[in-house]
Every structure is written in structure tokens, then in C-alpha cells.
Amino acid sequence: MFRKILIANRGEIALRINRAAHELGVPTVAIFSEPDRTSLHVRHADEAFCVGPGPAARSYLNVANIISAALICGADAIHPGYGFLAENARFAQICIDHDLAFIGPPPATIASMGDKAEARRKMAEAGVPTTPGSEILRSLDDARAAARQIGYPVLLKATAGGGGKGMRVVDGEDDLPSAFATAQAEAEANFRDGRLYLERLVRKPRHIEVQVLGDRFGTIVHLGERDCSIQKPSHQKLIEEAPAPALSEPIREKLHATALAAARAVGYSNAGTLEFLVDGSEIYFMEMNTRIQVEHPITELIYGVDLVKEQIRIAAGEHLGFAQDDMSPHGYAIECRINAEDPANGFAPSAGTLVDVEFPGGPGVRVDTHIVAGSQIPPYYDSLLAKVVAVGRTRANAIARMERALSETRIEGVPTTIEICRDVLRSEAFRAGGVDVEFLPSRFIADRAVV
Amino acid sequence: MFEETVEHRLRPIAAAFAESDLVRIRVADDAAEIELRRAVPNARAVAPGSGGEQTNRTYDVITAEVVGVLHFQRPPVEEGYSLDGDRELAQIEALGIRNPVRSRGAGRVACIYVAEGQPVDYGQPLFAIDRS
């Protein structure tokens, strides 16, 4: 096992990793930016280093200061969490070059899954279904020809992309030239890589992802699926649940088998997630996230596995302690993301001081958070304040528990997503299960606007 | 004993206080308790020579820009030294590279907050330079 782990992140995930390390008996080192000096993740760690001022580019993305801190304090591993440097293959390689274990998959795996066109090609080779699409487009003429072959509507995407940047829906050939130009410019500006490709647009899919876990000796298991279809208009997830409701067993099994085949095809090790679009009985590979996900607790609660501890164990060269047959889910779990955002104003993020904070407790409730009353929410980082997770024997049970938990939750000082989560939980469509990604943006936010 | 306490414990607290926008700070442990109050809301806002209420001295606190291990320039400066211009006072070694720490102009070395070979992190006070 490692001597000491540096946690290259902030907020709730830094605390989550700190807890896993401490339970394994491994001391921890936090990094922080100046505005995060008094943050809970700093207080819980055994040591802490300030690595820069507020803006992430100068602190949580400051590779030189992070590596230097790790070397000075004698850490032998770095856990990147999610976001920031978690899917940066060069950072992973730099860690390895400095004899620091990177708690995640090998750099080459991160690189190949980070390039979306390459990931699609690799998956198609492995027999994993992908949406019909093109190779990298060399020109607008290339795009025209590819779009005709695929059939409109198409989705124009940046191969280096993420977060909806460099992505355009194109309904017909007339719209293609301007969409091509703007997507290319956006991709250049955001990723310094303007390469684009085309995919057929799947209208109103469900977003279902499969958790996988592999050790360095070739053992790979899946830990079931998570339904992440409750998404904001920006395609960011708001509510996730596991297992996916209203999904036929053959499709569920197909998702699991496909995820395992895909993970094996790339020789995956550590924790990873394969995201799929589900359209009726069709499933399409969307992308693979080579890191721990925000919504990992719902899987932990129904499988009784500590994914972050497993990540650390695997990176330390240990064998996975269980096989696929040992793994079966028990019950249902739901996660609501409590963000410092104003749903009435396009989910605009907000910063400020929290004057009052109360979290729920009681049976079947887990809260992963870094905030307390008096916490300052800096403007520099993502707006996640807390993850409220509820587990129950049945889905109805889990929903009732989540409603109870949210009714106990109070955060004063910034607008939050608590109420919109409660509204979703109350809605008949959500209770019936199986809604698609357009549910929240179209029906739900539209409904609220009318009221 | 008292001098050592002032040197190693009080000065870093005072420096951090001076750098902050706080008007009052209280630090306590088993052995001692100290409370600092600011006469003006932010001493840094008082321009040199404008006649601040407390003092007409102006200090610049030189802080670490990188995370690394501090090495004094040879021969090392000592408190009370006068600097006739922009001088290299120390280096911070990070990933095998020695990053210079400079005085950023003339002045008197009023305080040295760090020791040879000490790990420092971003923003950590290293030297206070009296510019008056």
C-alpha cells in the first residue's frame, strides 16, 4: 500500500478520497488555492499545501506546484478525483515520470479515450455499437458528403471536446457551413484542436452508463448501470439513479456485456464508466470516462463496494478482491446534486457566503459535501455544494426517502437546485421511470415557466 | 525564550494579518493567547508618506510564488541588512529548478520568516522588506 497520497482536487471529492485513504490507513496531503484555505478538505487532510491563487489554471491545474508538493512531502501516489487533471494523460505521465503512482488508468488509455473519434473507432473495432458517424472531417465538403451518407439530423462534434463545447446539431445541409465554422472555431478556442467529426443525432435518448472496475492483472467486472437522464439543458446531470428503472432485462444485460467487452478491448484498469445512449432497444456507445464519476455513491450503496478504496488498492498493485459472480445489487439508490445555481435563471452559477446549512440524516441517507455554515463559495470552480443520496429496498422507498431527506435540507445564502430536484421527484413521469434526457429541459422547465 | 516566541510564532501571524483584510485576529493555544487589532481598516491602503496613524514605515512582504524548498543566497542575508537595489535573496527549488526570490527593490530586511531548507508553499511569507 502507498505511504502517503496527495489529493489533487478540492470540494466534496477531495474529502471523499481523504476518507477512503484514512480508512486504508494511508496519510493524506491536500492541495488548496488561496480562497480554499479554510475549506473542509484542507482541515481533514494530514498535511496541506497552497498551490496557487483562486483561478484553477494557476492552482488546481498548476502541475509544477502539485508535483513539487508531492515530492517535498514524500507522497508516493496522486489521486486526481474528477475534473481538473483527472483525464489529462500528460499529467498522468508526469506523475509516473516522478515515481508517483497515478491513481487511475495508464496514460495511454486516458489519451485514447479522451480523443472521441479515436475512442469511437476503437469501440467499433471491438464490436461495440456506436451511432453511425464519420471519421475526422478534413473539410466542409467532407462534412457534406458524410452527412448525406449518415442522414440528417446530424451532430457535429469536436474530437477533443467535452461539456457541449464545439458541438452543433445540424438539421439540414443549408445549416452545415455555418455550424461547421462555429464548431471548429469553438473547438480551436477551447481545446486548441479544431478537428471535427459527425454522428447521427439520436433524438430523446436515455443516458445510461455502466461502472467498470479492473485490476492490473486482467480481471474486469461491471458494477451495473446508472440512469443519468435527468439533465440540465447544458446536458449536465442533476439526478441519477441505480439501477435504471423501466429497462428491459435484455437491454440491461446488453449494456453490461457491452461495457465489459469495451473495457476488455482497451485493457482497462482502475475505475471507469462507459456512457451509452439508449433509444428503445438500441444502445450506442457515447464515451468512456477514465476516472471516478460524481455519481459513484449510488453504485457503492447498492453494491456495497467502496469504489475509491478499490481505485487506491488497484493502483497500489493489488488484485481485485471479488469476481463478477460475487457482485449483485441490493435495492435502489438515488442521488440529487445540490448546486449553487439558480434554476429560474438558466441554472446560472452563483458565489457567496452560506449563512445557514443543515443536512439530512437518518436511515438510508448519505451526504457527500464540503460545505458548512459560513463557507465561502468562490466563483472559480464548479457549483456542486453537496450530493444527497438515498437508498431503499424498492425504488418507491428510495424516492420517499429522498423526498424526506431534501425536506430536511436547508442551504441559505445562494440559490440552489434543492427545489427543482423535489419537483422532479414529485412528477408522475419521473415516478413512472424511464424518462429521456429532454424531460427536464423541455417539459419540466417549460412547465415551471408557465406556472 | 520570549524573543524566540516573537521570532517564530508572532511574526508569521502578524505578517499574515498584515496581508489580510481582517481587522481583528485572536490566536490561542495552551501556552499563550494573542490578539491583534488593526487601527485602520487596511494598513496596506495607506500610501507611503501619507501619514498612517500607527507608523510611517511601509513593508513589502515577499511571498513564495512556487511550491518548493527554500535555499538562501550565499552569503545569506540577515535581518537588518540594507539592500541597495533589487537583490536575489533566496531560491526556491522545485522539480530540480531553482527559482529566484528577489527583493524587488531597495530597502532594509526587516524580517525573515523562513529557515534554510524549509518547504514553502504558494503565498507563504518569506521576507519583509522595509521600504521607508
pLDDT tens digits for chain A (451 residues)? 999 999 999 999 999 999 999 999 999 999 999 999 999 999 999 999 999 999 999 999 999 999 999 999 999 999 999 999 999 999 999 999 999 999 999 999 999 999 988 999 999 999 999 999 999 999 999 999 999 999 999 999 999 877 678 889 999 999 999 999 999 999 998 888 999 999 999 999 999 999 999 999 999 999 999 999 999 988 899 999 999 999 999 999 999 999 999 999 999 999 999 999 999 999 999 999 999 999 999 999 999 999 999 999 999 999 998 999 999 999 999 999 999 999 999 999 999 999 999 999 999 999 999 999 999 999 999 999 999 999 999 999 999 999 999 999 999 999 999 999 999 999 999 999 999 999 999 876 655 544 3
Q: In this complex, do B95 and A71 lie within 8 Å of one another by their Cβ atoms?
A: yes
Q: Which three cell numbers stand for residue A90?
A: 500528460
Q: Does A55 touch chain B (CB under 8 A)?
A: no
Q: Which residues of A touch B68 (CB under 8 A)?
A: 68, 72
- List chain B domain ranges: 1-38, 41-130
Task: Please give the biggest Cα pair distance in chain B.
Answer: 46
Helix axes A107-114, A116-125, angle to 10 degrees: 100
Torsion of the alpha carbons at A233, A234, A236 and A240, rounded to the nearest 10: 10
Class of residue A229 by CB neighbours under 10 A (exposed 0-12, middle 13-18, buried 19+): buried
Each residue of B94-112: pLDDT tens digit? 999 999 999 999 999 999 9
Q: Do B122 and A34 touch (CB under 8 A)?
A: yes
Q: What is the pLDDT of residue B25?
A: 73
Query: 415516478: which residue's cell?
Result: A431
Nearest CA in chain B to A66: B67
Q: What are phi and psi of A285, to 5 degrees?
A: -65, 130
Inform me whether the pLDDT recorded for B2 exceeds 90: no
Cell (9 digits) for B93: 527549488
- pLDDT, residue A141, reads 95
Across B4-31, average pLDDT: 71
The H helix count followed by the E strand count for chain A is 15, 22
Cβ-nearest to A64 among B69, B94, B124: B94
By DSSP bridging, strand A270-279 and strand A282-289 are antiparallel
Can you give the pLDDT at residue A231?
95
Q: Going by DSSP bridges, is the β-strand pair A332-339/A384-392 parallel, antiparallel, or unpaired? A: antiparallel
Whether the Cβ atoms of residue A73 and residue A47 lie closer than 8 Å to each other: yes
Q: Is the ipTM of this complex over 0.85?
A: yes
The answer to whether B92 and B101 are in contact (CB under 8 A) is yes
Q: What is the model's pLDDT at position B42?
A: 33
- Residue numbers of A annotated as active site: 291
pLDDT at A90: 97
**Spatial contact of A30 and A14, defined as CB atoms under 8 Å apart:** yes
For residue A101, list its beta bridge partners: A77
Please report the pLDDT score of residue B26 as a whole number.
Answer: 72
d(CA A85, nearest CA chain B) in Å: 18
- CA–CA–CA angle A118, A122, A124 (5° rounding): 115
Which three cell numbers mark B105? Answer: 527593490
The pTM for the full model equals 0.89
- Cα atoms in the 13 Å half-sphere on the side-chain side of B23: 3
Distances, alpha carbon B81 to alpha carbons A28, B77, B117, in Å:
40, 7, 21
The pLDDT of residue B49 is 37
| C-beta separation of A197 from A236 below 8 A | no
pLDDT surpasses 90 at B34: no
What is the amino acid identity at position B12? Answer: P
Contact B105, B131 (CB under 8 A): yes
- Is the bond into B48 cis (omega within 30 degrees of 0)? no
B-facing residues of A in 25-54 (CB < 8 A) are 34, 49-53
What's the CATH number for B41-130?
A: 2.40.50.100
Q: What share of chain B is helix, strand, coil (3-state, %, to 5)?
A: 15, 35, 45
pLDDT score for B46: 34
In this prediction, residue B48 carries a pLDDT of 37
CA distance A232 to A224: 24
Q: What is the rounded distance in angstroms from the CA atom of residue B121 to the CA atom of residue A388?
A: 34
pLDDT at B1 over 60: no
User: pLDDT digits over B41-83, tens only?
Assistant: 333 333 333 333 445 678 899 999 999 999 999 999 999 999 9
Q: CA–CA separation, B111 vs B60, rounded Å?
A: 10
